[in-house]
Chains A and B, each alone.
Chain A
């Protein structure tokens, strides 16, 4: 298992919450992770990268776009607008996301007994996720995948993505 335990447990719980349910996108920026201070840029970056990973790997899908209109504009927007400014505003709260069939099948394979949250880390589930990430060209790494654009960083890079 390459994903650190605190991030792995958060990832497991978050994906299980979306499995079979639609929630606001902002959940990916919330929830305690010991190694990432809540509300900071590192937490924002982590949320953006997990959204990118799970969208690319067809584990989540976007049902409703708010303040963006497709996947590309969504990914650009979440790099630019902090989920912690004004509680994330309409972009992070209004954009609606749910788990895909692929996520449902994965969850059923590793959490067969119920659809309820399991607060105990299942390393086999995480390793299966890591395998999916790698198969989609996104092996686990702590390096940012889609660097966030903080105030003053300049917006020019957005047009290059």
Chain B
């Protein structure tokens, strides 16, 4: 992103064989968000209903 943040999106079924195939995921590495999240990047999971 222009502000230096990194966002990675993984569509459901597109990650490794060991990962849940029905859930998409996103991680966001942004210094401002990390500060609010115990120093970690934000990891989001989006299960299919």
Contact = CB atoms under 8 A, between A and B. Distances in A.
Interface residues of B, number: 22
Nearest to B4: A87
A100 interface: yes
Chain B interface, >50% SS class: loop
B20 A93 contact: no
B40 A94 contact: no
Contacts of A31: 38-40
Interface stretch (A22-30, A46-54, A72-80, A143-151): A22-30
Contact of A98 (B8, B16, B31): B16
Looking at B18, B25, B27, which has the most chain A CB atoms within 10 Å of its CB? B18
27 contacts: A20-B18, A20-B19, A21-B15, A21-B20, A22-B15, A24-B27, A24-B41, A26-B6, A26-B29, A27-B40, A27-B41, A30-B29, A30-B34, A32-B38, A32-B39, A32-B40, A63-B16, A87-B30, A88-B29, A90-B6, A93-B6, A93-B29, A96-B10, A96-B16, A98-B15, A98-B16, A99-B18
